[in-house]
A and B are shown apart, each in its own frame.
Chain A
Amino acid sequence: MDLLWDGLREAVRLIVTGDREVLEITLRSLLVSAAATALSLTIGVPLGMLLAQRQFRGRSVALAFVNTGMGMPPVVVGLLVALMLWRSGPLGELDILYTKTAMALAQAILAAPVVTGLTATAIQGLHPKLRLQIVALGASRLQTLALLAREARLLLIAAVMVAFGAAISEVGASLQVGGNIKGETRVLTTTVVLETGRGNFDVALALGIILLALVFAVTLLLTLLQQRARRA
C-alpha cells in the first residue's frame, strides 16, 4: 500500500510543482497525438464517405479490410512503419525514423481505420436519398460532402474522440518508430513503460494520472462540442 501512496504523493508533487520534464513530455504527447488525429481524419473521413456512397465491386471487401484495420496490432504497424522508414527502406530518404513525425505517422495509421469505419457507418445511417436532395438544392460536390458530414456530425465527433484516444494511448508503435529518446521522442506512454521497468513507480504513476486526465479533458471538450452540435 505504501508504494501506491508514495506514488500518488509524488504524482501530486510533480503535477503541482510543474516539473519541467513532465510538462515537456505531456505537451509532446499532446502535440504528436493531435497531429496523428488530424492526419487520420484527413485520410479517414473522405475515405469513409467514399466507401459509404460509391457503389463499386469489392466495396464490402474494402469495408471488411477497414473493420479489420480497427483491430490492427500496434506492434505490427510499428514494425511496418519502421521498415518503411529504415535508412535502406523505401522511404528511408525522408530520414524521419526516430522523430515525432514518424510517431505521428504510426499513430495516424492506427487510428485511420477507426475514423474510416465510423464515418462510413455514420453516412450510411443517413437517409439514402438525402444526398440526392442536397445535390438537387444546388450543392457542388464539395458542398455536398460538407453538408452530409454536418448531418452526421455527432458520430464524426465521436470518431475524433476515438481517434485521439487511440493515438495518445498507443505505446508499442511509438517506441518502435520513436525510440523513446529523451528530450526528443519521449511521450507519456513510453515514459510510463520506461519508469515502470526501472522500478520508479511513483513517476510512472504520476505520468499515468496525467495521461488519464489529458484524455478525459480532451474527451470532455469534444463531448461538450458534440452536445452543442446536437442542439445547433
Chain B
Amino acid sequence: MTPKLALHDVIVRRGGQVTLDVPALEIVSGEVLAVVGPNGAGKSTLVQVLGLLERPAAGAVLLDGRPVTGHELAARRRMATVFQEPLLLDRSVRDNVILGMRLRGVRRSERGQRAGRWLEALGIGGLARRRPHQLSGGEAQRASLARALALDPEVLLLDEPFSALDAPTRARLAADLGHLLHQQGQTTVLVTHDRDEALQLATRVAVLIGGRLRQAGSVEAVFARPADPEVAAFLGVETIVPGVVVARGESVAQVRAGGVLIEAAGAALPLGDAVFLCIRPEDVVLAPATAEPVATSARNRLPAVVGAVTPTGGQRRVELDCGFPLVAVVTRRSAEELAIVPGAALVASFKASAVHLVPQPEPAAPPKGSR
C-alpha cells in the first residue's frame, strides 16, 4: 500500500549544521504516528518539512506516492498543522475555524455547518462568538484543533499541541482528541516530548534523537525493546506492559497483566479498558523468596525469577519474569546480599502508587470512505 505521506532522504541544514537527517519515513493512512524525542531533537523541523512549511536542503516529500515539488500550495491544502501555541487570528472563534476552509475554497454554505460541528465536537460550541483574548489556554487550543479538523485534512500534523497547557487541562484535551482521532480514522503525526501522550494517542511510535530517527515501530515494541541506550534513556520507563482493568475500588484499580493481578492507584479508568502499566525500575523492591512477608505498604508482591543482570554504574539492572517482564534496579550491595543471579527466585514488590496507568489507543475506526 502506498503510504499517505512519506519522506525520502530528507536533509535539513541550519547554519551549516545538519539538524534533520531522515532517509525514510512513511505515514500510513489511518494511523496515529507519534514522533517522540528530547527537546532540540529536530521534531518541530520534521513537522514543518512534513507540512510543507519548510523546504529541505535535499530529499523529497511524497504525498500519495507523488513528490510535492512544484505544487506545494495544492499539497499543503490537503493537510493541516496545529502548533504548540493556538495561533488564533484576531477574529471570532467561529471565523477562525471558517478562515482555513475559505482559503481552501470550501463552499460558503458548508463552512458554517462544518465549523459548528467541529466546535461542538471539541466541546466549545458555546464559545463560537468569543474573541481569542477571551479564551483560556485550553479553550484556545481546542479552537485551534477545531480549525484544523474542520479542514478534513488527509494528514493532521500536531506539533506539541498540549505542552503549553497545565496538567489537568492537558489530560482532558488529550483524552478528547484521542477519541476524535480514532473515531475519524484520522491520519495523524503527533510530535511530542511527552511519553505518556505517545502511549495514550499513538498506534505507532518513532523516536527522533539528534535529528535522526533511531527507532520506529508499535508503541509496545518500542517501549519494551528500545533499540539503543539513548532511546532507552529517553523512554526512561523500563517496564511497560499491556493490561486490562478488571476491578475498580475507590482509589485503587485492579489490572490484569500477563496472568497476574496488579493494583494501581488513582487512575479513574473504566472497567474493561485496555491500558499500559508503567513501572519505573527504582520503584521495585526485591526480597528473598523465603522471607516472611514484612509489614509494608507495597500492595503488589509477586514471585519473580531473575533473568539478565547488568551492571550500570554503582547499580545493577535486574530483568525479572513475574508473569510479565519487569525491570528493577538495586544497589550493588543488595545484589550481593540477595544473591541476585540469573535463575534465582525472589519476590518483587512495588506500591500501587508506583504503577502508572496509561490508556491504550482505541482500535482505529474503518477509514473514512470517500476521499
A-to-B contact residues, CB < 8 Å: 127, 129-130, 132-140, 143, 147, 150-151, 232
Contact of A137 with B83 at beta-carbon distance under 8 Å, contacts A147-B89, A151-B89 already known: no
Chain B residues contacting A127 (CB-CB under 8 Å) are 85, 87
7 pairs of A and B residues whose beta carbons are closest in the complex: A133-B87, A136-B81, A137-B100, A138-B77, A138-B103, A138-B104, A139-B103
Partner of A137, one of B85, B90, B91, B103: B103
Q: Does B80 contact A (CB under 8 A)?
A: yes
Partner of B83, one of A133, A138, A139, A143: A133
Is there contact, CB below 8 Å, between A132 and B85? no
Closest to A133 in B: B87
Is there contact, CB below 8 Å, between B87 and A143? no
Is there contact, CB below 8 Å, between A151 and B90? yes
Is there contact, CB below 8 Å, between A140 and B73? yes
Is there contact, CB below 8 Å, between A132 and B48? yes
User: Could you tell me the distance between the alpha carbons of A130 and B132 in the complex, rounded to whole angstroms?
Assistant: 14
Chain A residues contacting B211 (CB-CB under 8 Å) are none
B128 → A minimal CB distance (Å): 16
Closest to A147 in B: B89
User: Could you tell me the distance between the alpha carbons of A136 and B104 in the complex, rounded to whole angstroms?
Assistant: 11
Contact of A132 with B53 at beta-carbon distance under 8 Å, contacts A138-B76, A138-B77, A138-B103 already known: yes
Pull 25 A–B residue pairs with CB atoms less than 8 Å apart, ordered by A.
A127-B85, A129-B85, A130-B89, A132-B48, A132-B53, A132-B81, A133-B83, A133-B87, A134-B89, A135-B53, A136-B53, A136-B76, A136-B79, A136-B81, A137-B80, A137-B151, A138-B73, A138-B76, A138-B77, A138-B100, A147-B99, A150-B89, A150-B90, A151-B90, A232-B91
User: Could you tell me the distance between the alpha carbons of A132 and B54 in the complex, rounded to whole angstroms?
Assistant: 9
Q: Does B51 contact A (CB under 8 A)?
A: yes
B127-148 interface code vs A (CB 8 A; 1 in, 0 out): 0000000000000000000010
B65-78 interface code vs A (CB 8 A; 1 in, 0 out): 00000000100110
Size bracket of the B interface: 20 to 34
Is there contact, CB below 8 Å, between A129 and B87? yes
Chain B residues contacting A132 (CB-CB under 8 Å) are 48, 53, 81, 83
Chain A residues contacting B48 (CB-CB under 8 Å) are 132
Interface centre among A137, A147, A232 (most CB of B within 10 A): A137
Chain B residues contacting A139 (CB-CB under 8 Å) are 103
Closest to A229 in B: B90
Chain A residues contacting B89 (CB-CB under 8 Å) are 130, 134, 147, 150-151
Contact of A137 with B53 at beta-carbon distance under 8 Å, contacts A127-B85, A129-B87, A147-B89 already known: no
Is there contact, CB below 8 Å, between B87 and A138? no
B245 → A minimal CB distance (Å): 38
Is there contact, CB below 8 Å, between B100 and A130? no
Closest to A141 in B: B73
Closest to A136 in B: B81
Is there contact, CB below 8 Å, between B103 and A129? no
Is there contact, CB below 8 Å, between A136 and B51? yes
Is there contact, CB below 8 Å, between B103 and A143? yes
Chain A residues contacting B91 (CB-CB under 8 Å) are 232
User: Could you tell me the distance between the alpha carbons of A58 and B53 in the complex, rounded to whole angstroms?
Assistant: 25
Contact of A137 with B147 at beta-carbon distance under 8 Å, contacts A127-B87, A143-B103 already known: yes
Is there contact, CB below 8 Å, between A133 and B81? yes
A16 → B minimal CB distance (Å): 45
User: Could you tell me the distance between the alpha carbons of A135 and B77 in the complex, rounded to whole angstroms?
Assistant: 9
User: Could you tell me the distance between the alpha carbons of A179 and B99 in the complex, rounded to whole angstroms?
Assistant: 51
Chain B residues contacting A143 (CB-CB under 8 Å) are 103
A1 → B minimal CB distance (Å): 52
User: Could you tell me the distance between the alpha carbons of A134 and B90 in the complex, rounded to whole angstroms?
Assistant: 12
Q: Beyond the given A136-B80, A140-B73, could you list 9 further A-B residue pairs with CB under 8 A, ordered by the A residue number?
A: A129-B87, A130-B89, A132-B53, A132-B83, A133-B87, A137-B147, A138-B100, A138-B104, A150-B89
Chain B residues contacting A137 (CB-CB under 8 Å) are 80, 99-100, 103, 147, 151
